[in-house]
Amino acid sequence: MKKIAVIGTGYVGLVSGTCFAEAGNHVTCCDIDQSKIDKLAQGIMPIYEPGLKELVDKNAGRGTLQFTSEISQAIRDAEIVYIAVGTPMSVTGEADLTYVKQVAQTIAENLNSYKVVVTKSTVPVGTGKVIQTIISQYSSAPFDIVSNPEFLREGAAIKDSMNMERAVIGASSDKAYEIIAELHKPFTSNIVKANVETAELIKYAANAFLATKISFINDIANICERVDADVSKVSEGIGLDSRIGPKFLQAGVGFGGSCFPKDTAALLHISKDCGYDFKLIQAVMETNESQRMLLVKKLISALGSLKGKTISVLGLAFKPDTDDVRSSPAIDIIPLLTDFGATVRAYDPIAIDEAKKKLGYQCSYSEDPYETMKQADACLILTDWMEVKQLDLHKVKSLLKQPLIIDGRNLYQIETMQRLGFTYLSVGRPA
């Protein structure tokens, strides 16, 4: 049983802290946001994540998980201090380390005994050294630095954390490596031991590689449309090669979320900083941006003009099973539609409150998909929610003014849609 302080109760900090507690450790999750801490103490989750509340309640109930804004005390009591604060993208694309540096300073001020200081946040290569320098400047107590990046997916965060495919541990000493490796025993037997810088880079390389797969298949989809080929068959055909694998080959409206857009931009920045021209990652980002526009162009060419038209947008979250709308296709596309003169009615089962914070009243919102379709000129599918996959298509057809569906997630069989009499335009598949 280890005593752990996790600083930052965002996605990564809250989920990791809860899973460490579930594995039998004593965890204190800290945040400077008192209202967030108060809510967590009452069992109110700041994010929607399947299974999280149950685990928080269980561990808070048995005393293995605590929440506090008294960060200094939590650091003093802990043997392991996890830094899980945000590293938002700055205007230049660089990861902003302001919060990480502030936490390093607080750790230094409260270093009363040997501690392992671990970064869980996605941080640029070299951040471990920066933290080391800050702490050593203010304190002479012993400590070690570890980079232990997070690979969980939103919507599957608990599953991913309790059963990790691998843990990456980049430690500044063997002692610190052993402590963090021991902590991960209940979660995985695959541990990649590296130096701190390598572990930091592994995180960016993993996300950038997955983003590259998506942009690659989206580029192939665009070729498919020009040569009458079907991208879903191309994905199947290449994905069965075990060297390629079937995952992250789903063509569509492009990737979103709080990680891929931010991490590809940050990796480009890291490469520029070390004098390397990473052309591939630049192209991955450009393809992703143009993929959003492609759907809008399809809509305009099908309707002639968007002026005075009503569009039903299905899906605001960047992917299913989350209420996260950061860099979500809908957040990029809805303002474009309204700029072109369209009235937008948006559906999402859980992300409406989050979307309202970004889009305000640029569109109307409904938790009933059919409500958004009444006499609409077209339906635009932006999130692959199960609720959208399972729509009653006869009802959809009867509600729309004209049976036009632009599907940015390739949810339906083309033959079915044709049989039902829809004009159905998807991504990289024959119209």
Q: Is 323 in the site for ligand UGA (CB under 6 A)?
A: no
Core vs surface per residue 50-62: b (16+ CB within 10 A) or e: eebeebbeebbee
Q: Is 207 in the site for ligand UGA (CB under 6 A)?
A: yes
CA angle 302, 306, 312 (to 5 degrees): 85
Six-digit token string for 280: 């591939």
Q: Is 210 in the site for ligand UGA (CB under 6 A)?
A: yes
- What is the H or E stretch that residue 115 is in? strand 115-119
Of 23-31, 137-145, 224-232, 255-263, the window that binds ligand UGA (rule: CB under 6 A) is: 255-263
Of 21-29, 123-131, 192-200, 245-253, the window that binds ligand UGA (rule: CB under 6 A) is: 245-253
- Cα separation, 85 vs 87, in Å, equals 7
Which of residues 177 and 255 has its CB atom nearest to ligand UGA in the complex?
255
Using CB under 6 A, which of 101, 153, 166, 358 touches ligand UGA? 153
Total chain residues near ligand UGA (CB under 6 A): 20
- Using a CB cutoff of 8 Å and minimum separation of 24, what contacts does 224-230 make? 224/428, 224/429, 225/428, 228/430, 229/428, 229/430, 230/428, 230/429, 230/430
**Contact, 410 vs 427, CB < 8 A?**
yes
Does 122 appear as a known binding residue? yes
Of 26-34, 97-105, 174-182, 252-260, the window that binds ligand UGA (rule: CB under 6 A) is: 252-260
**Contact, 118 vs 104, CB < 8 A?**
no
Using CB under 6 A, which of 13, 257, 349, 369 touches ligand UGA? 257
Using CB under 6 A, which of 252, 315, 349, 369 touches ligand UGA? 252
Between 99 and 138, how does the x/- string for binding to ligand UGA read (CB under 6 A)?
A: -----------------------x----------------
Q: How far is CA 93 from CA 74, 89, 128, 178, 256, in A?
A: 33, 5, 20, 35, 15
Which of residues 44 and 205 has its CB atom nearest to ligand UGA in the complex?
205
Which of residues 122 and 212 has its CB atom nearest to ligand UGA in the complex?
122
Residue 167 DSSP code = E
Using CB under 6 A, which of 115, 298, 319, 429 touches ligand UGA? 319
Does 151 appear as a known binding residue? yes
394 forms bridges with which residues in the sheet? none
- Cα separation, 190 vs 410, in Å, equals 35
Work out how close the CB of 152 gets to ligand UGA at its nearest, in angstroms, rounded to a whole number.
5
- Classify 233 as helix, strand or coil: helix
Using CB under 6 A, which of 19, 158, 214, 373 touches ligand UGA? 214
- Cα separation, 287 vs 107, in Å, equals 41
- Cα separation, 205 vs 39, in Å, equals 35
User: Among 101, 75, 105, 72, which residue's Cα sits nearest to residue 86?
Assistant: 101
Give residues 335-364 in contact with ligand UGA (rule: CB under 6 A).
none
**Contact, 415 vs 408, CB < 8 A?**
no
Give residues 268-287 in contact with ligand UGA (rule: CB under 6 A).
none
Using CB under 6 A, which of 138, 151, 340, 370 touches ligand UGA? 151
> Residue 314: phi, psi to the nearest 5?
-105, 105
- Cα separation, 161 vs 187, in Å, equals 7
- Cα separation, 169 vs 270, in Å, equals 21
Does 339 appear as a known binding residue? no
Q: Is 170 in the site for ligand UGA (CB under 6 A)?
A: no
- Encoded amino acid at 380, one letter: L
Of 188-196, 257-265, 274-282, 334-342, the window that binds ligand UGA (rule: CB under 6 A) is: 257-265
Which of residues 372 and 410 has its CB atom nearest to ligand UGA in the complex?
410
> Residue 246: phi, psi to the nearest 5?
-85, -15
Q: Is 249 in the site for ligand UGA (CB under 6 A)?
A: yes
Q: Is 154 in the site for ligand UGA (CB under 6 A)?
A: yes
Work out how close the CB of 110 gets to ligand UGA at its nearest, in angstroms, rounded to a whole number.
28
Of 58-66, 77-85, 146-154, 340-348, the window that binds ligand UGA (rule: CB under 6 A) is: 146-154
Work out how close the CB of 103 gets to ligand UGA at its nearest, in angstroms, rounded to a whole number.
18
Does 358 appear as a known binding residue? no
- The answer to whether 29 is a known catalytic residue is no
- Classify 364 as helix, strand or coil: strand
**Contact, 397 vs 316, CB < 8 A?**
no
Work out how close the CB of 351 gets to ligand UGA at its nearest, in angstroms, rounded to a whole number.
13
**Residues found near ligand UGA in the complex (CB under 6 A):** 122, 150-154, 207, 210, 214, 248-250, 252, 255-257, 259-260, 318-319
Task: Return the active site residues.
Answer: 259
Q: Which residues are annotated as a binding site for NAD(+)?
A: 31, 36, 87, 122, 154, 262, 326
Q: Which residues are annotated as a binding site for substrate?
A: 151-154, 203, 248-252, 256, 319
